[in-house]
Structure 1
């Protein structure tokens, strides 16, 4: 398998000889620099042991906290508080919404290896157009959560079976401004999490059952795509 982004290339496979031949052939056409086993790629750190890969963005998290002046924050155990759902009318409008948008953009990139952030970041992304002081406080809580769990990430491990399993849930009419639902799912290949999502549904569901069926349709579509 070959993954290419601009000038950076990851080449992977289960035959070392073929990999070396492929890299040699590429080198005859293009000027290449072989950096050896993968350790770092676009902010994602890769660590190995005998049977597993670990992906995290610890360095990126530290840079994000430093850039936003949040390294001094006291960590918290959860990325969000429970209770009343946030509304676009909560709080006072921010005088400089650019900083809020920059932080949310940085958090969105973190969801590549941090599925635990998907729900919170998706919710905060809804207020990019006109963020308020309440939304800013919620964003800072996510950063406090990251402060205490900088090196968390994905564990890609060996499994004797490679069956696909999907899990889903929905929260009916949880958005107070438009009464839409949020649906989330995660898909496992063997024991490894390979796909996840948390997003607001595009239509208003008239019942919790309808909301659940829409969530089911989303995860089935994802599993069909992975299978193909």
Structure 2
């Protein structure tokens, strides 16, 4: 999960700004600090200041991944996966180099920090790390095709004086053909900014969609 504290252009309440300055001064007395000005790049995440807020993208991170995999000429696709695809542990030919699959999934997991639109399929493909096949690799390449055409998409953090927390949850009941477990997902907004998200398979099998939905709500409330 990515945690950001956005100060510029936010309506600060009370003496919050003074408190921040005091903390920075106190840290400066103990450690060597340097002010680099407005943030523009952090841990592979590009930060652009717009009229609407901070736009977090990972276009360079995507370019580096495609270059590493020698897939820079990959044709883009409009979606990260095809709904009709059913990934199974038994379908396909086992990959000879499993490290490529595993390392690529790890990179895609980090990309979900700013690209919530790939969270579901990346979570699904990560379930085949133990013995990936060529079919699973096709699914990964589909995600890469989608990312290659949508590099500039990202996460927008908007300043606001409204601190309302809005949560959405959903369930894909018995969607996993291997064990018939459901996939639960939720996202949490602070005003208009997405601050937390998850897409995860449930640990138990639900015999009805109602049960799985209640479990998804309970998981969302706990998190």
TM-score under structure 2 length normalisation:
0.89
8 Å CA contact 1:45–1:57 kept in 2: the answer is yes
8 Å CA contact 1:85–1:174 kept in 2: the answer is no
Measured against aligned partners, the alpha-carbon deviations of 1:117-176 in whole angstroms (never above 9, x if no partner) come to: 100110010000000000001001100000000121111113453211111111111111
Alignment of 1:103 onto 2:131: no
Which 5+ residue runs of structure 1 have no aligned equivalent?
Answer: 4-9, 223-228
Which 5+ residue runs of structure 2 have no aligned equivalent?
Answer: none
What CA distance in whole angstroms lies between the structure 2 residues aligned with 1:187 and 1:95? 40
Measured against aligned partners, the alpha-carbon deviations of 1:81-137 in whole angstroms (never above 9, x if no partner) come to: 111421111110001111011100110111111101100110010000000000001
Secondary structure at 2:144 match in 1 = helix
CA RMSD, 1 decimal: 1.9
8 Å CA contact 1:169–1:184 kept in 2: the answer is yes
Q: What is the CA-CA distance between 1:30 and the residue it aligns to?
A: 1.4
Query: How many residues are matched?
Result: 214
What CA distance in whole angstroms lies between the structure 2 residues aligned with 1:26 and 1:154? 30
Alignment of 1:153 onto 2:166: no
Which protein, 1 or 2, shows the higher relative CO under an 8 Å CA cutoff with sep ≥ 6? Answer: 2
Q: What is the CA-CA distance between 1:16 and the residue it aligns to?
A: 5.2
What CA distance in whole angstroms lies between the structure 2 residues aligned with 1:206 and 1:19? 51
8 Å CA contact 1:12–1:19 kept in 2: the answer is no
Number of the residue aligned with 1:162: 163
